Amino acid sequence: MATLEIRDLHVTVEADNATKEILKGVDLTVKQGETHAIMGPNGSGKSTLAYSLAGHPKYTITGGTVTLDGEDVLEMSVDERARAGLFLAMQYPVEVPGVSVSNFLRTSATAVRGEAPKLRTWVKEVKEAMQRLNIDPSFAERNVNEGFSGGEKKRHEILQLELLKPKVAVLDETDSGLDVDALRVVSEGVNRVRETGEVGTLLITHYTRILRYIKPDFVHVFSAGRIVESGGAELADKLENEGYEVYTKGGASA
């Protein structure tokens, strides 16, 4: 079983000619087959964690390690991370002008699988996955994320997730901007992937809404750049009732 291990991760960002430390020692282990939720207030560094795992150039790793199956992720290029089995869905997905969803998916699948999927089975695979997610077939010919509504972007992410079958998936705010129906469809997609037992999922959110559909095995509270508490699904209920104030006031913050 593959394991993503984050140890004492420190990350800075350059803003207004100053260096700001955003992540202050993150420790987290996600194993294939497990579902983890990271919850925390706005600005606590959740997306910074996702970007750092993705290898975004704006984020500088100043300390700590990230390994997948013992391999150093931080040494890998963005492509190598995907090939190693890491899937990262960002809070604000970028548009890819001139590249259709259909081509994008096939190129990604080729990169991840190490060979181009057979065209006949591939077309069928994509069609079925799109149907399950209630994505209109015409989407295949549209440019990636160009003019997509918020909900369409998130469905497209889950489409990628289902087709690429990574070892570990990091989903940043997959629930944001979804209406109730879309939330259900997207959650069902995540649950299908989960049921294979072969994907470890890290769900980043600040609402417990999505956790009504996806029951996490572990919940972690993120505050001021690190994990300040971990527990089971019941911790999400506590957060729903009590909010984050107890973590952000004095004590837990850095």
Ligand X SMILES: Nc1ncnc2c1ncn2[C@@H]1O[C@H](COP(=O)(O)OP(=O)(O)OP(=O)(O)O)[C@@H](O)[C@H]1O
Residues that bind ligand X (CB under 6 A): 13, 15, 22, 40, 42-48, 58, 91, 206
CB of 201 to Mg ion, least distance (A): 17
In the bound state with ligand X, the residue whose beta carbon lies nearer, of 40 and 216, is 40
Q: Cβ–Cβ contacts within 10 Å for residue 152, how many?
A: 17
In the bound state with ligand X, the residue whose beta carbon lies nearer, of 57 and 97, is 57
Residue 121 is inside which H or E element, if any?
helix 119-132
In the bound state with ligand X, the residue whose beta carbon lies nearer, of 9 and 164, is 9
Name the binder of 55 from ligand X, Mg ion, none, CB < 5-8 A by kind: none
CB of 50 to Mg ion, least distance (A): 7
Name the binder of 32 from Mg ion, ligand X, none, CB < 5-8 A by kind: none
Q: Confirm or reject binding of residue 47 to Mg ion (CB under 5 A).
A: yes
Mask for 89-108, x = binds Mg ion (CB under 5 A): --x-----------------
Name the binder of 43 from Mg ion, ligand X, none, CB < 5-8 A by kind: ligand X
Task: In whole angstroms, give the CA distance from residue 68 to residue 118.
Answer: 28
In the bound state with ligand X, the residue whose beta carbon lies nearer, of 47 and 145, is 47
**Helices 119-132 and 101-113, packing angle to 10 deg:** 120
Name the binder of 208 from ligand X, Mg ion, none, CB < 5-8 A by kind: none
CB of 16 to ligand X, least distance (A): 8
> How large is the greatest C-alpha to C-alpha distance in the chain, in angstroms?
59
CB of 203 to ligand X, least distance (A): 13
Total residue length of the chain: 254
In the bound state with Mg ion, the residue whose beta carbon lies nearer, of 47 and 52, is 47
CB of 43 to ligand X, least distance (A): 4
Residue 195 is inside which H or E element, if any?
helix 180-195
In the bound state with ligand X, the residue whose beta carbon lies nearer, of 85 and 216, is 216
Number of residues that bind Mg ion (CB under 5 A): 3
**Helices 119-132 and 150-164, packing angle to 10 deg:** 140
CB of 51 to Mg ion, least distance (A): 9
Q: What are phi and psi of 87, to 5 degrees?
A: -120, 130
Give the chain's radius of gyration (CA, Å): 18
Q: Confirm or reject binding of residue 35 to Mg ion (CB under 5 A).
A: no
Candidates 200, 222, 243; CA nearest to 23 is 222
Task: In whole angstroms, give the CA distance from residue 153 to residue 115.
Answer: 26
Task: In whole angstroms, give the CA distance from residue 243 to residue 228.
Answer: 14
**Which residues are CB-contacts of 97 (< 8 A; sequence separation ≥ 6)?**
143, 146
Amino acid of residue 120: R
Question: For binding to Mg ion (CB under 5 A), which residues are involved?
Answer: 46-47, 91
